[in-house]
Copies of this chain bind each other. A is one copy, B any other.
Amino acid sequence: MSRKSQELTRDDWVLAGLAALAEGGIESVRVERLAKRLNVSKGSFYWHFLDRSDLFSAMLDLWETDFTAQLIANVASLPTPRARLRALADEALEASMDGVDVAHAEGAFSAWAVLDPVAAARVRAIEAQRIGYLVSELSLMGAEATDAELLAKGVYLALLGVFTTRRYNPALAEDAVFRRVVDLALDAVERRR
């Protein structure tokens, strides 16, 4: 067996970091814990990364490129805005990638952004994209510009609520609840035409 197969890549660390983030929040992604989890010493970590915040940046990078953009791309082929938005809702509720629970991670990213200005800027940018997409779809459906924005943000806030609540109060975060909110918004747009 070649040595290469056992050596860790930067991305291995990043994925472990994301898993730890999803599991226990940003405070729980600690280099010595990750090292233990990866059965390796932290000497390895400081080979791949400058320091802990370097890992944080990499986590934000991977999140933005591999996870976030993907979601929107996945539904682009559907025919109507309504179908795309519903599919997006389903996707948001169920996603999981590379062993990282996306919903848990989403909540953890928000919580992280509250505490860390660097993360905040990145998360804000990602959310701006998402809201922008929702607004454009709602506009396609005939919503007025200002109302499309209110509705898009409202739905997204509910989704964030789902993400954070899932972990400690799942009765509150049932899928049906979020779907009802989505319906509320979609119906509001269609009724107005």
Residues of A whose CB lies within 8 Å of any CB of B are: 24-25, 27-28, 107-108, 110-111, 113-115, 119-120, 123-124, 127, 131, 147, 150-151, 153-154, 156-162, 164-165, 167-169, 172-174, 176-178, 180-181, 184-185, 187-188
Contacts and interface: CB of A to CB of B under 8 A. Distances in A.
The 8 A-B residue pairs whose C-beta atoms are closest, nearest first, are A157-B161, A120-B168, A160-B161, A113-B168, A154-B181, A150-B180, A114-B167, A153-B177
A127 B172 contact: yes
16 contacts: A25-B111, A27-B27, A110-B164, A110-B168, A119-B168, A124-B169, A127-B169, A127-B172, A153-B174, A154-B177, A157-B162, A157-B172, A157-B181, A158-B181, A160-B164, A184-B185
Given A154-B184, A157-B177, A181-B154, A25 B172 contact: no
Contacts of A120: 167-169
Given A25-B115, A111-B114, A188-B184, A160 B165 contact: yes
A114 B178 contact: no
Given A123-B168, A157-B161, A158-B158, 12 more contacts: A119-B168, A120-B169, A147-B180, A150-B177, A151-B184, A153-B174, A154-B180, A156-B161, A158-B161, A158-B181, A184-B185, A187-B188
A179 to B, nearest CB: 9
B154 A178 contact: yes
A108 to B, nearest CB: 8
